[in-house]
Amino acid sequence: MFEMVVGLETHVELSTKTKIFCSCTTQFGGEPNTHCCPICTGQPGSLPVLNRQAVEYAITAGLALGCRINKRSVMARKHYVYPDLPKAYQISQYEQPLCEGGKVTLSNGREIRITRIHIEEDAGKLVHQGGMALIDYNRGGVPLIEIVTEPDFRSAEEATEYLEKLQTILRAVKVSDCRMQEGSMRCDVNISVRRKGETAFGVRTEVKNLNSFTSVAQAIEYEFERHVDIISSGGVVEQETRHFSAEDGTTSSLRDKENADDYRYFPDPDIIEILVPDEVLERLQAELPELPDAKLRRYVSELGIPEDDAKMLTKYRPVSEYFEKASEGVQQPKTVASFIITQMFSRIQTEAERENFSPGTTAEQLRELVLLLESGKISRNVAKRVFADMLDTGKSAHDFLTEEDLAGFDASQLTSLCQAAIDENPKTVADYKGGKEKAIKALVGAVMRATKGRADAIAVEAELKRLIGQ
């Protein structure tokens, strides 16, 4: 039996308005080679100036992940020759990174240790077209943090959960949008295989530039099977860098794996060392918001939100902010959560839309609707119908409520209406008594039609079951 040993290197673009060493915009897209200048394309005589905001974002990420912040760190030159890096070296960090240590705790209780977080510049982008390789330097010089873990993963599921939690945390502290589809969060997988019970690491391979959780999982699973097949047949795994094909879920050899010595790191002479004063650390620590795990625990234990719903609310900071504002003064915040997750999320489905959550219906309007429901002035069915109209138009609940809606429903009539539904539908009652649980829903529907949706469906179902004697 074999086990996989996996470590991840995650590159995250920071949300600065300008690049790490120049004033060019970091805006995504644009015509090729229009967001660049002599500095970010490495022209002779140009000198870099470090972006202070990029450093502060990197420190914020480190604090959110429980890292130790080094008060002194150094930028280094990492040398390699490739068309997307015109000056033939990348400005990064090596021996003295900005952040070290830290961890992310998975749902199974296992802790994934973070080795280091360092800042560096992104490279340009190669575009393969018509048998040619075209180069777009717009992305070159965009500030990155690289988050490196220890080889603590033992399954593809653990790796994807870690990345999802990492994405949620970094979005919550607003250091990056982490949009994998735009390349602002990318992952390299380092994987080796060993027999269970062994402590020594096997020969590792690296799969580069994975840009979705699915690709990460597929690459890990494919490489694990490939390593096991090689070892089981008496072969030797070669240390190399591999390319992942999303089309068929396989990897292929790209080049021999470089070691640190191959990059010839040395301190960059054009950039002074980074010194982090105590007052900056204290300010950034004080500015940290409530982190997603703590918020999730609070939603479940204090607000009574089901855990799965709480995970959906805390995954996106704008959603949780909207939820909390809409919940102010209501008796049951889980009612607010239900409206958001069922009706709003059915219309706002993509990652980008939820990340930039800004529905036409305001949090105050949703709160007003929930307060009407809790006061007994309207039924849940009426509230659902009205909320759909609110989402369509951006108008408030009162624009759609009739006098009949607000008249409520006389609960004293409930028993007679339920009995009438039972008397008029003997076959449905027999089906329910015979074990067809769904048959009760047909009876509920008959009562709800008779009350024009003003009765409480849960109360109707309970009364029907009481009268039937089940």
Which whole number is the average pLDDT over 439-466? Answer: 83
173-209 confidence digits (pLDDT tens): 999 999 888 889 999 999 999 999 888 999 999 999 8
Where does the pLDDT of residue 263 fall: very low under 50, low under 70, confident under 90, or very high at 90 and above?
confident
Tell me: pLDDT of 259 over 70.
no
Can you say how many angstroms the Cα of residue 134 is from the centroid of all Cα atoms in its chain? Answer: 32
Contact in structure between 76 and 91 (CB atoms under 8 Å): yes
- Greater pLDDT, 36 or 261: 36
Q: What is the pLDDT of residue 32?
A: 93
Q: What is the pLDDT of residue 450?
A: 82
Instruction: Please give the torsion angle defined by the CA atoms of residues 207, 208, 213 and 218, in that order, rounded to the nearest 10 degrees.
Output: -30
407-445 confidence digits (pLDDT tens): 566 666 778 888 888 999 989 888 888 888 888 888 888
The architecture of the domain spanning 411-468 is Orthogonal Bundle (1.10)
Tell me: pLDDT of 58 over 80.
yes
Name the average pLDDT for the chain: 91
Q: What is the pLDDT of residue 145?
A: 98
SS3 call for 416: helix
d(C-alpha 386, C-alpha 409), whole Å: 17
Contact in structure between 239 and 257 (CB atoms under 8 Å): yes
Q: Which of 43-52, 114-123, 385-394, 397-406 has the lowest mean pLDDT?
A: 397-406
Where does the pLDDT of residue 291 fall: very low under 50, low under 70, confident under 90, or very high at 90 and above?
very high
Q: What is the pLDDT of residue 417?
A: 84
Q: What is the pLDDT of residue 7?
A: 98
Q: Could you tell me whether strands 240-245 and 205-210 are parallel, antiparallel, or unpaired per DSSP bridges? A: parallel
Residue 329 CB: number of other CB atoms within 10 A?
A: 9
* CATH 1.10.10.410, the chain: domain bounds: 411-468
d(C-alpha 340, C-alpha 337), whole Å: 5
And the tokens for 164?
């999802």
Q: What is the pLDDT of residue 406?
A: 65
**pTM as predicted:** 0.84
Where does the pLDDT of residue 245 fall: very low under 50, low under 70, confident under 90, or very high at 90 and above?
very high
Where does the pLDDT of residue 19 fall: very low under 50, low under 70, confident under 90, or very high at 90 and above?
very high
Which whole number is the average pLDDT over 256-273? Answer: 83
Tell me: pLDDT of 452 over 90.
no
204-240 confidence digits (pLDDT tens): 999 998 999 999 999 999 999 999 999 999 999 999 9
Q: What is the pLDDT of residue 460?
A: 83
d(C-alpha 113, C-alpha 153), whole Å: 10
| Cα-only R_g, the chain | 29
321-334 confidence digits (pLDDT tens): 999 999 999 999 99
**CA–CA distances in Å: residue 182 to residues 98, 179, 185, 210, 317:** 26, 5, 8, 12, 19
Share of the chain above pLDDT 70, in %: 97
Q: Which of 1-10, 54-63, 368-377 has the lowest mean pLDDT?
A: 368-377
Q: What is the pLDDT of residue 407?
A: 58
Share of the chain above pLDDT 90, in %: 69
SS3 call for 78: strand
